[in-house]
Amino acid sequence: MPKKIVVFLFTIFVAVIVAGCGNGATNGKENKELVVVDWGGPYTEIHKEVVFKPFEEKYDVKVKVVTPPDVGKLKSMVESGNVEWDVVSVGDDFAIRGGREGLLEKLDFNVIKTDGLPEELVHDYAVPENTFSTTISFNTDTFPVGKHPTTWAEFFDTTKFPGDRGLYNDPMWTLEAALLADGVDPENLYPLDVDRAFKKLDEIKDHVKVWWSAGAQPPEILATNQVPLTSSWAGRVIAAKGDGAAVDVDFNQGLILSNSWAVPKGAPNKDLAMKFIAFSLEPEQQAALSNKYDNAPANAKAIELLTDESKVRLGLDDSSDQLQKQIYINTKWWVDNYEEVNERFRTWLLE
Q: Classify domain 132-256+328-350 at the CATH class level.
A: alpha beta
User: 11: pLDDT confidence band, cut at 50, 70 and 90?
Assistant: very low
> Is 122 in contact with 114 (CB distance < 8 Å)?
yes
Which of the 8 DSSP states describes residue 29? B
Rounded Cα distance between 37 and 48, Å, is: 12
For residue 317, the model assigns a pLDDT of 66
Closest CA to 224 of 205, 207, 210: 210
Q: What size, in residues, is the chain?
A: 351
For residue 66, the model assigns a pLDDT of 97
Per-residue b or e along 118-138, where b marks 16 or more CB atoms closer than 10 Å to that residue's CB: bebbbbebbbbbbbbbbbbbb
For residue 313, the model assigns a pLDDT of 78
Q: φ and ψ at 159, to 5 degrees? A: -85, -50
**CATH node for 33-131+258-323:** 3.40.190.10
Closest CA to 151 of 126, 180, 173: 180
Q: Mean pLDDT throughout 85-91? A: 96
Q: Collect all residues with Cβ–Cβ distance below 8 Å to 212 and sequence separation of at least 6.
A: 166, 167, 168, 169, 218, 221, 230, 232
Q: What confidence tens digit (pLDDT) does each residue in 247-285 have?
A: 999 999 999 989 999 999 999 999 999 999 999 999 999
Q: Mean pLDDT throughout 37-45? A: 89
Strand ranges, E, within 170-277? 208-212, 229-233, 247-262
33-131+258-323 and 132-256+328-350, same CATH topology? yes
DSSP string, 41-65: HHHHHHHIIIIIHHHHHHHT-EEEE
DSSP string, 90-134: EEHHHHHHHHHTT-BPPP-TTTS--TTS-GGG--SS-EEEEEEEE
Q: Collect all residues with Cβ–Cβ distance below 8 Å to 76 and sequence separation of at least 6.
A: none
Local structure of 15: helix, strand or coil: helix
Element (DSSP H or E) covering residue 285: helix 283-290
What's the number of CA atoms in the CB half-sphere (13 Å) around residue 272?
21
Pairing of strands 208-212, 165-168: parallel
Measured N-to-C along each axis, helices 331-350 and 194-204 cross at an angle, to the nearest 10 degrees, of: 40
User: 78: pLDDT confidence band, cut at 50, 70 and 90?
Assistant: very high
The domains of the chain are located at 33-131+258-323, 132-256+328-350
pTM above 0.75, yes or no: yes
